[in-house]
Amino acid sequence: MTDEKNHLSNKLGIWGWLGGGRYGLERYAYTLHRLTGLGLLLYFILHIFVTGSRLGGPESWSASMAVYETGLFKIGEFLVFVAFIYHGLNGIRLGLTELGFLMGKPERPLFPYRSSVMRQRPVLIVIMVLAVILILAGGLDFFVLTSH
């Protein structure tokens, strides 16, 4: 068991999120995952109270929606949709990596070396392409095919 005193100090703190360093693309995916996660949590807590306005009956709900279905709130809602798509799809990659599915089998470190970061990178790219497709579909629904 590792002694807690021997843990490396997180000297950079939140600033460490900004630099990809040797992790490259995955480090920025990590930063974006955290930012979208915090944004979704904030929205979710507000959402619990907004949906709680249903307790006042259909009139109270309609009054709430009259406020939230307008310009700036609609853009905010779309950003929540975008954050969910990114966070959810990247979360699938992180979950699979966590369970060891995308890391490849252990092997001798023979030149040219292949790191496990590079092994899972194609999945990151596929997932980001999928995210862009779903975000475009969402944008179409939010701003073009608006029935409400």
Partner 1 sequence: MRESTLWFWHIIAGAVILVFLGLHMAIMHLDDILALLGTGYANTVSAATVFARSQQTFFMVTYIVLLGAALYHGLYGCRTILFELNIGKGLQKLINWVFTLAGVGLFVYGTYVAIYLYKMKEVLP
Q: Which is nearer to partner 1, 44 or 118 (CB)?
A: 44
Q: Which residue has the tokens 């040797």?
A: 22
Q: Which is nearer to partner 1, 23 or 114 (CB)?
A: 23
Minimum CB separation of residue 116 from partner 1 in Å reads: 19
Q: Which is nearer to partner 1, 110 or 145 (CB)?
A: 145
Which residues of the shown chain bind partner 1 in the complex (CB under 8 A)? 9-10, 13-14, 34, 37-38, 40-41, 44-45, 48, 51-52, 54-55, 58-59, 61-62, 65, 69, 77, 81, 84, 88, 91-92, 95, 98, 137-138, 140-142, 145-148
Do 54 and 61 meet the contact criterion of CB atoms below 8 Å apart?
yes
- Is the dihedral angle over the CA atoms 87, 89, 91, 93 positive or is it negative? negative
Q: Which is nearer to partner 1, 6 or 10 (CB)?
A: 10
Minimum CB separation of residue 107 from partner 1 in Å reads: 27
CA 35 centroid distance within chain: 7
Minimum CB separation of residue 136 from partner 1 in Å reads: 11
Q: Distance between CA atoms of 130 and 67, rounded to whole angstroms? A: 32
- One-letter amino acid of 34: R
Judge if the upstream peptide bond of residue 106 is cis by omega within 30 degrees of 0: no
Q: Which residue has the tokens 């700036």?
A: 72
